[in-house]
Amino acid sequence: MDGKDIGRGTGYKIKDLENLEEGQTLMIGGKEIEVMGIISSEDYNSGRCFHSVVTSSTPAASECMPVKPFINPLKNASTTCGKEQVFREVQNCKPRHDPNAPNSLVMSKPTQYHQRMFNKASLPIVDVVVDPYLSVHLRPHQKEGILFLYECVMGMRANERFGAILADEMGLGKTLQCISVVWTLLRQGPYGGKPILKKTLIVTPGSLVKNWRKEFQKWLGTERIRVFAVDQDHKVDEFVNSPLYSVLIISYEMLLRSLDQIQNLDFDLIICDEGHRLKNSSIKTTSALTSLSCSKRIILSGTPIQNDLQEFYALIDFVNPGILGSLGTYKKIFEEPIIRSREPSATKDEKDLGKERAAELVRLTGLFILRRTQEVINDYLPPKTESIVFCRPSTFQLDLYRKLLNSHLVKSCFQASGENSPHLVCIDALKKLCNHPCLLFKSLQLKAKDPGHNEHDFYENLVEIFPCNYNADTLLESESGKLKVLTNLLSAIREHSPSDRVVLVSNYTQTLNVLQEVCKHHEYKFTRLDGQTPVSQRQQIVDGFNSNYSSSFIFLLSSKAGGVGLNLIGASHLILYDIDWNPANDIQAMARVWRDGQRRTVHIYRLLTTGTIEEKIYQRQISKQGLSGAVVDIVKNSNHIRFSLDELRNLFTLHEDSDCVTHDLLECNCTKLANLSAEQREKTSTQKRGCQLGSHHSQPDKNFSMSELMQWKHFSMQNSFEDPFLQLGKESISYVFQNTTNSQTS
């Protein structure tokens, strides 16, 4: 049951093994084994036989459990004082809010099994109703999320387990759902109406501490609840010494500093925002939170987990310790069969077993993981137009790209293996070249001057691919195809929609420096937020930009350093200047402007350099998307970024003769399609939906995939193109995919 191999044996006759029955014995690995029972192939393939202790708290399983009859608490009261106290308690045994009122949100009633376990005093069952002050603002998916969280922390979904993971995408109101649950349980409970919570701990990234406090004030006001946010001016001591506060909001960093004080406090619920940082059970933060004696734990994470199954196990084991057994058991039952089934050399039996184990893992974790995509709120948002813009590289970029691909550094990628291969260095160099040649030149200069660097000689030689008189300090927009498109795009936005504002996103601080110089050159007023921005100032910067009185035209944002949880609805245009291997990072960055509170039509642009490594990264991104939930993210993407020799050759290939390699892979004929009737075009598009990138992806995904690109509009710059914002940079654009989501704000 722990997943250990006790013994192995070979040379048995199949006939003897097939005829084994209960009570018979067999010698395996020097040990005598007695058959105690027969496991069905279904139970073995799913792995269910190894974790029979994991059960859901379903009514069917619990109705057979007897429940104690209700006892009048006044009957045996001996003193007058006792009678009065108990009488007051019984009088309070009624719902705090009317469960029959219109639009009331009533929590699930406990089953008989739950009552037997947690209502030892046989108190009356009372309806738990979310405060109408909150419920009037809740959307259907938020009500569903609150019910889910309530059932999880009350132990109603998995027996004697009180943890949950809310993995909704950004913008769906995870914060509001948690505030509703906290406020409800601080004032109510199903047994005699007694509150479930006294104190709640909310741990969050430093940049979101003030945001959480503002959200509590926004939805509940200061007269209903007092929350204490730890910052430079407010220490944990004040919370400890004051009876006024029932909620403590603290950053992960401050938690570690104040751990001794917090360990002395009794918290009834812990909420970890951006909880994917707990994916490693050995880090200090996870150990610190695990040391707190609180069984009710909630993780919030809008970013699907995409690295490996052990990280997923760490999150599960934090919210519901031991529910999947030990790590060794988990690896043996789930991780190893699932990963083995995804290997190219996997047999049909191994693939089938991996599929069954993955399905069982999804079923088990589905008891306490909830994930919804932004599709659930599309009807509440204004229209959005998303464009994938393929930018022609400049002549200078093409020349440097060819030289780099022919360099000794790139050629060594095909000879070295494992960690010795410099392919990541080459990929980084090509990505910088796509952004602007000056970024690559400055990087090469720094590394070439460092004699202690492993690739010192390589970098020294690579500097020579630039002209001897090249000056990286003089920023020429004409040297980068993407930068030319960007400047034309900004100019068109300024011209056609003078009141609109733009969020300009990059993964790299150095690239933001280049974009900042562009803003200065064109005299665009800008605001910037990156890793160097003090945490205490970030929310103030965001609020200032979102204000109607802001004079900034552009918000420069580092997606990695400053992107977590930011709401930038003051802008209606977002431009993603470069691309990340992880599609979740780009999706999160693009969600900054199209979210609750946005009133204008949103335009999102992703800039890619045609025929280069950026197209390859984009193709890899969209072939990994279309994921149905946080657990499936794990199952489908359990490998780190690895490249075979063929994949490396493909990455390091420059396609100069194509306007869009991605479009070529779709194998669609847009010219013929444009001449068909609407009915014929829809029929043709339907027939094309099965088109996928690469042979290792078998079926179309329900979210974004290569097949869905067939449903987007395809624009070659040789044809007519109506977008007024992209029209100005038409000469530097080779191809555009465009899609409009026609939602309506309600």
pLDDT in tens, 203-229: 998 888 988 999 999 999 988 999 999
The answer to whether the beta carbons of residues 533 and 464 sit under 8 Å apart is no
**Structure-token match 């029979």, residue found:** 52
Q: What angle do CA 94, 98, 103 make, to 5 degrees?
A: 150
* pLDDT greater than 70 at residue 738: yes
Residue 163's pLDDT band (cuts 50, 70, 90): very high
Question: What share of the chain in percent tops pLDDT 70?
Answer: 79
The helix-helix angle for 481-496 and 509-521 (nearest 10°) equals 50
Q: Which range scores top for mean pLDDT: 120-124, 378-382, 406-410, 585-589?
A: 120-124
Three-state DSSP string of 453-493: CCCHHHHHHHHHHCCCCCCCCCCCHHHCHHHHHHHHHHHHH
E strand or H helix at 3, and its extent? Answer: none
Task: Give the Å distances, CA to CA, from 458 to 13, 417, 461, 466.
Answer: 61, 17, 5, 14
* pLDDT greater than 50 at residue 508: yes
Buried b (16+ CB within 10 A) or exposed e, 250-275: bbbebbeebbeebeeeebbbbbbbbb
* pLDDT greater than 60 at residue 58: no
Residue 673: both structure tokens together: 């399609």
**pLDDT for residue 730:** 86
Query: Which of 182-186, 259-263, 341-345 has the least mean pLDDT?
Result: 341-345
**Structure-token match 């720094």, residue found:** 446
* pLDDT greater than 70 at residue 13: yes
Residue 394's pLDDT band (cuts 50, 70, 90): very high
The answer to whether the beta carbons of residues 387 and 725 sit under 8 Å apart is no
E strand or H helix at 738, and its extent? Answer: strand 733-741
Q: Where are the beta strands (DSSP E) in 114-182?
A: 163-166
Q: What is the mean pLDDT of residues 55-59?
A: 50
Q: Where are the beta strands (DSSP E) in 532-650?
A: 554-558, 573-576, 602-609
Residue 617's pLDDT band (cuts 50, 70, 90): confident
Q: Which range scores top for mean pLDDT: 483-497, 583-597, 622-636, 677-691?
A: 483-497
Task: Give the Å distances, CA to CA, from 117 to 56, 112, 124, 152, 706.
Answer: 15, 9, 15, 15, 51
* pLDDT greater than 50 at residue 641: no
Q: What is the mean pLDDT of residues 265-287?
A: 89
Choice between 494 and 91, residue whose per-residue pLDDT is larger: 494
In 3D, which of 284, 309, 314, 288 has the Cα closest to residue 299?
Answer: 314
Q: Which range scores top for mean pLDDT: 169-173, 301-305, 320-324, 486-490?
A: 486-490
* pLDDT greater than 50 at residue 77: no
Q: What is the mean pLDDT of residues 314-337?
A: 89
Q: How far apart are CA 699 and CA 690, in angstroms?
A: 7
Task: Identify the structural domains of the chain with CATH numbers, from first to last.
Answer: 93-324 (3.40.50.10810)
Q: How far apart are CA 533 and CA 226, in angstroms?
A: 29
Q: How far apart are CA 563 and CA 375, in angstroms?
A: 21
* pLDDT greater than 70 at residue 14: yes
- Determine the 3-state secondary structure of 736 from DSSP: strand
Q: Which amino acid is at 393?
A: P
Q: Where are the beta strands (DSSP E) in 344-392?
A: 369-370, 384-391
Which residues contact residue 88 at a Cβ distance below 8 angstroms, ignoring those fewer than 6 apart?
none
φ/ψ of residue 227, rounded to 5? -115, 145
* Residue 352 CB coordination number (10 Å): 14
Q: What is the mean pLDDT of residues 566-585?
A: 86
**pLDDT for residue 696:** 29
Which residues contact residue 631 at a Cβ distance below 8 angstroms, ignoring those fewer than 6 apart?
312, 361, 362, 365, 366, 369
Residue 539 CB-half CA count within 13 A: 13
Exposed/middle/buried for 319, CB within 10 Å: 0-12, 13-18, 19+?
A: buried
- Determine the 3-state secondary structure of 247 from DSSP: strand
Q: What is the mean pLDDT of residues 52-67?
A: 46
Residue 732: both structure tokens together: 């530097």
* pLDDT greater than 70 at residue 516: yes
* pLDDT greater than 70 at residue 43: yes
Question: What share of the chain in percent tops pLDDT 90?
Answer: 39
pLDDT averaged over the chain?
A: 81
Q: How far apart are CA 155 and CA 190, in angstroms?
A: 13
**Structure-token match 């050759």, residue found:** 649
Residue 406: both structure tokens together: 């022919």
Q: How far apart are CA 402 and CA 406, in angstroms?
A: 6
pTM: 0.72
Query: Which of 166-180, 394-408, 456-470, 663-677 has the least mean pLDDT?
Result: 663-677
Q: What is the mean pLDDT of residues 294-302?
A: 92
**pLDDT for residue 698:** 30
Task: Give the Å distances, CA to CA, from 611 to 391, 398, 594, 706.
Answer: 9, 10, 29, 17
Beta bridge partners of 132: none
Cα 520 from chain centroid (whole Å): 34
Longest CA span, the chain: 99
Choice between 33 and 78, residue whose per-residue pLDDT is larger: 33
Q: How far apart are CA 354 and CA 365, in angstroms?
A: 16
Residue 104's pLDDT band (cuts 50, 70, 90): very high
Choice between 187 and 4, residue whose per-residue pLDDT is larger: 187
- According to DSSP, residue 448 is labeled H
* pLDDT greater than 60 at residue 627: no
Residue 27's pLDDT band (cuts 50, 70, 90): confident
* Residue 521 CB coordination number (10 Å): 11
Which residues contact residue 672 at a Cβ distance below 8 angstroms, ignoring those fewer than 6 apart?
none
**pLDDT for residue 438:** 93
**pLDDT for residue 633:** 45
Query: Which of 105-109, 267-271, 657-661 has the least mean pLDDT?
Result: 657-661
Query: Which of 37-51, 465-479, 525-539 has the least mean pLDDT?
Result: 37-51
Cα 75 from chain centroid (whole Å): 55
